[in-house]
Amino acid sequence: MIGRMARANLILEESDYVEWYSELGPLFAGIPRLREYYYLLSDLELNRYPDTLRKGEDPILISGEELSTTLEQIEVQFIWGVLSAFERIPTSLPVEAPYAEGNTAFWEGQPTPQAQGASFEIVCWDSSLTLFIGVDQWLASWLRKLYPDIRDLRNGG
């Protein structure tokens, strides 16, 4: 079980280590453990919609394995979207789906995942940055290795 202590909120923007923002294929390829989660995808706006991420079907519940395979096969840019990560398939989905566009809570205080029971969330913000909300120290360490210019959200967001 992944620990609940010492959570971090990180922001990736103005990075020399990404070709274009919110393309999540390299993230999933660089951190294979992300395949172990189940993801609730919501508030999606993509540059293209593969079969597994059908336009208009929002929210979408998908395994990390299936999501990772999709992102390996097709370059998808998440213009807007929230990927809520769960260790197990959630027994119920949130009444109100997590959202990115128009959500000012990310920029105030110490944000936490919007979906109850989510281990962490990946937030794609208008193709210009990616937020990692509530990541454990193990994942934060991997993100810092993959993206050396990633910053703590409260100190640079």
Residue 102 counted as domain residue: yes
pLDDT 10s digits, 74-95: 999 999 999 999 999 988 888 8
**Buried b / exposed e along 51-87 (16+ C-beta atoms within 10 A):** ebbeeeebbbebebeebbebbeeeebbbbbbbbbbbe
Domain hosting residue 101, numbered range: 8-156
Residue 28 counted as domain residue: yes
* Domain count within the chain: 1
Q: What is the pTM of this model?
A: 0.92
Q: When comparing pLDDT for 91 and 139, which is higher?
A: 139
Is the CB of residue 61 less than 8 Å from the CB of residue 89?
yes
Residue 1 counted as domain residue: no
Average pLDDT score, the chain:
91
User: How far is CA 46 from each of CA 3, 56, 110, 127, rounded to the nearest angstrom?
Assistant: 32, 11, 27, 9
Q: When comparing pLDDT for 54 and 66, which is higher?
A: 66
Residue 3 counted as domain residue: no
